[in-house]
Amino acid sequence: MTRIQGVEDSRIPVTGWAVILSFVLVSLSFGGEIDSIIRAAPGHEAYPEAGALILLDRKTQIVDKNNSTTLDRYLVVKIFEDRGRDELGEITQRFNKDGQTVEVLQACTHRPDGSIAKPEARAISEVSAPEVGSAMAYTNAMLKVVSFPALEPGAIIEYHVRVKPKKSKREDGFSGVVTFGGFDPALKREFTLVVPKGVEFRYDLSQPGVAPVVESLKSQVSYTWTASNTPQMFREPAMPDIERLVPVLSYSSYRDWKQVATKLRKEFDKGRVASPLVKKLSDSLAVGKSEADAARAIYLFVTQKVRNVWLDYGDAGYETHKTPDILNWKYGDCRDKNRLLICLLAAQGITATPMVLNTTVDVTASVPSPDAFDWLVTMATVDGTPMLFDPFAEYRMYGSIPDDDAGVDALVLDSTNTQLTRSPQSSGDWAATTAVLALEMNGNVSGTVNTSTRGCYDNSLREAWRDRTPTDRKRALAQTASSIKTGAQIDTFWFSDLGDLTKPAASGFFFTAPRYAVTQKGELSLQVPTPAVIGEALFWLTSSARRTNPVETRPARRWDYTCNIKLPRGVKVDILPESVAVYGAGVSGLGGWTRTADGVSFHYSVRLTKTDYSVGEFTGLKAAADALSRPQLREVYFLK
């Protein structure tokens, strides 16, 4: 962490600030720079796997005396392929229409022949953010959209946009997070922070190698961080968020976490108002119940009866809403649903406090910042026991902790705990599937498959199956049958009440597979089937030969599969495969066969005891998965 103070402390009259800000913004005009950028732009052969190349991504954040900020962004991109055109041919800028304005200063396409195409007036528009399209209370969350014309291989996009406040308002401080990397390669990524002289702030970089260049202006100081030749990142299943893989700059002028907590709590409490409607609902949900039962009923109401609006904590365009309004609308983002939950709990005397989380990366403890968090939950004390409530966890069993919320950096927004902490860890994440099969002399196989779940598997089962109609479920299970063998079918199936978050989710089905076992010269051979309504992600995560990114497998968990095969009279076991046992860093895979009184039993188990695996540890994950999925382990022979 680095603490910076401006070169000198100047007190500038209010009337002078507009002049200074204007001077800085004018200085950001780029004149003939675009010509030299285009001339020096490399060809596709230098980046054969990229759909586009970012030639320059320059962001400038200007802070005024009120800590109000203006963002200026200048972006130049060269298109190599159609996928680059599809990804970057339309550029959006998020803003809050009630408090900000967006000005597009430049938008054009430089064709390979040197001519310039500008978008039509209707190709530059303002639209509501897609996630709030059906939630009118949040339509101040807007996107400024520019659709670029005449894009073809070799064309270059030039884009310059400015986001500024409609009116400078006094803020407690300023802060931000800047990512120096992405899925497209870039020749230069640049960020400049301009602050009044004498203003102190802290900054920290998650990775070394990007130091600021400091320049003293007339009444301001600028700090510029530049990252050159940032590589292309490749998307892979279960890879960490991009912020964990590239340099990230965190900066803030907030003194400490107490000031951050106070600011965030003040914003949260703006919507907390006394409401007979909220009290009446709380009483109706809690009537005749113990404190624990009342808390559960209130939580389930907010989780299941109030629709989710997926705005991350801190997204532009948010305005505080009052709890009676949220109750009437029956929808809310993470702030509003937690505010309603806390008000309903408080009406029954149950202590509950908002807690902010960072669900993707570790928070930089030395840089206290409101921008350090991306989610909001509730910590409640029920019958003396702390409990984490996330009212967005609509598929999660009551009392368990969602994967993204568990064991991450957090800040409780109360007056006593004003230091970074960690959210509670999840526990009991496992699934057990048991198949009981009957083998006939002619090779037919039939049997029942049952799956019990807890934690992440419980959540996966509900999310995949809860909202499907019986017909949709039957069609989906038909695909499960076809994975067993062509001609196999699911005859009957069942699910527990997947809308009941108070009981574990479970499911099962009965299937038949004609001529599944192979008969030849007095011998039956069978490769044991392992169908289930949900699977273990490790098997598809390790299907590729190698990785370029780490693997994120939150949470730690266990998966068990047992298959008992009953043999017909007159058939005996001939050959059983050898058992396997693979142990690596944070992973184990065990599998094997045993003889039973009426046949054989096959069992395998996967245990992941970590949540993050390096590229080097991927080989251990793959070895465990490959050992359990190889055909030799599952092939058994019988004699007639």
- For residue 31, the tally of other CB atoms under 10 A from its CB is 6
Which of 524, 554, 542, 520 has its CA nearest to residue 589? 542
Tell me: do 464 and 582 sit in the same domain: yes
For 617, the token pair is 């540890």
Q: Round to whole Å and give the CA distance between 459 and 421.
A: 26
The answer as to whether 160 is a domain residue is yes
At residue 249, the pLDDT reads 95
Answer whether 397's CB lies under 8 Å from 501's CB: yes
At residue 175, the pLDDT reads 96
Contact partners, residue 456, CB within 8 Å, separation at least 6: 403, 426, 429, 555, 557
Q: How far is CA 20 from the centre of its chain?
A: 40
Tell me: do 417 and 476 sit in the same domain: no
Chain length of the chain: 640
Q: Give the residue carrying structure tokens 């010509």.
A: 35
Task: Assign 305 to helix, strand or coil.
Answer: helix
- For residue 383, the tally of other CB atoms under 10 A from its CB is 10
pTM (two decimals): 0.89
The answer as to whether 176 is a domain residue is no
| Position 272 confidence tier, pLDDT thresholds 50, 70, 90 | confident
Mean pLDDT of 66-92: 96
Question: Above 90 in pLDDT, residue 136?
Answer: no
Q: Round to whole Å and give the CA distance between 159 and 59.
A: 12
- The distance between the two most distant Cα atoms of the chain, rounded to a whole number of Å, is 100
Q: Round to whole Å and give the CA distance between 377 and 614.
A: 29
Residue that terminates a domain, selected from 393, 422, 451 = 422
Q: Round to whole Å and give the CA distance between 409 and 422.
A: 5
| Position 195 confidence tier, pLDDT thresholds 50, 70, 90 | very high
The answer as to whether 250 is a domain residue is no
For the stretch 389-433, pLDDT in tens is 999 999 999 999 999 999 999 999 987 767 899 999 988 899 999
Tell me: do 487 and 563 sit in the same domain: yes
CATH number of the domain bearing residue 396: 3.10.620.30
Question: Above 60 in pLDDT, residue 13?
Answer: no
Mean pLDDT of 348-374: 95
Q: Round to whole Å and give the CA distance between 101 and 165.
A: 6
Burial class (CB in 10 A: 0-12, 13-18, 19+), 244: middle
Mean pLDDT of 49-63: 97
| Position 204 confidence tier, pLDDT thresholds 50, 70, 90 | very high
Domain hosting 293: range is 260-422
The answer as to whether 340 is a domain residue is yes
Q: Round to whole Å and give the CA distance between 372 and 342.
A: 23
At residue 21, the pLDDT reads 40
CATH number of the domain bearing residue 565: 2.60.120.1130
Q: Round to whole Å and give the CA distance between 124 and 217.
A: 34
Tell me: do 306 and 405 sit in the same domain: yes
The H or E element containing residue 601 is strand 599-608
CATH number of the domain bearing residue 97: 2.60.40.3140
| Position 521 confidence tier, pLDDT thresholds 50, 70, 90 | confident
- For residue 97, the tally of other CB atoms under 10 A from its CB is 17
At residue 30, the pLDDT reads 54
Give the residue ranges of DSSP H helices in 312-427.
323-329, 334-346
> CB-hemisphere CA count at 13 Å for 349?
5
Mean pLDDT of 225-233: 95
**Buried b / exposed e along 414-435 (16+ C-beta atoms within 10 A):** eeebbebeebeebeebbbbbbb
Tell me: do 410 and 447 sit in the same domain: no
At residue 3, the pLDDT reads 60
At residue 6, the pLDDT reads 42
49-53, 463-467, 635-639: the lowest-pLDDT one: 635-639
At residue 522, the pLDDT reads 80
At residue 627, the pLDDT reads 93
Tell me: do 32 and 118 sit in the same domain: yes
Tell me: do 44 and 80 sit in the same domain: yes
Tell me: do 390 and 511 sit in the same domain: no
Residue that terminates a domain, selected from 422, 451, 474 = 422
The answer as to whether 125 is a domain residue is yes
Answer whether 101's CB lies under 8 Å from 156's CB: no
The answer as to whether 235 is a domain residue is no
Mean pLDDT of 555-578: 94
- For residue 54, the tally of other CB atoms under 10 A from its CB is 21
Question: Above 50 in pLDDT, residue 188?
Answer: yes
Question: Which residues on adjacent β-strands are paired with residue 512?
Answer: 446, 489
Parallel, antiparallel, or unpaired: how do β-strands 2-5 and 331-332 relate?
unpaired
Question: Above 70 in pLDDT, residue 479?
Answer: yes
Which of 45, 46, 42 has its CA nearest to residue 55? 42
Average pLDDT along the chain: 91
At residue 14, the pLDDT reads 29
Question: Above 50 in pLDDT, residue 10?
Answer: no
The answer as to whether 240 is a domain residue is no
Tell me: do 303 and 438 sit in the same domain: no
Residue that terminates a domain, selected from 405, 422, 439 = 422
Tell me: do 288 and 148 sit in the same domain: no
For the stretch 18-31, pLDDT in tens is 333 444 444 454 55
The answer as to whether 281 is a domain residue is yes
Question: Above 80 in pLDDT, residue 76?
Answer: yes
Share of the chain above pLDDT 70, in %: 94
Question: Above 50 in pLDDT, residue 7?
Answer: no
Contact partners, residue 35, CB within 8 Å, separation at least 6: none
Answer whether 506's CB lies under 8 Å from 431's CB: no
At residue 132, the pLDDT reads 75
Q: Round to whole Å and give the CA distance between 211 and 92.
A: 29
Tell me: do 414 and 438 sit in the same domain: no
| Position 17 confidence tier, pLDDT thresholds 50, 70, 90 | very low
For 300, the token pair is 């389930």
154-158, 352-356, 379-383, 541-545: the lowest-pLDDT one: 541-545
Answer whether 500's CB lies under 8 Å from 508's CB: no
Mean pLDDT of 135-158: 91
Q: Give the residue carrying structure tokens 């599952």.
A: 634
Q: Give the residue carrying structure tokens 């079918």.
A: 489
Number of domains in the chain: 3
DSSP-derived secondary structure for 181-233: -BSS-EEEEEEEEEEETT-EEEEEESSSS--PEEEE-SSEEEEEEEEEEEPBP
Q: Round to whole Å and give the CA distance between 173 and 619.
A: 46
Tell me: do 416 and 501 sit in the same domain: no
Mean pLDDT of 556-572: 94
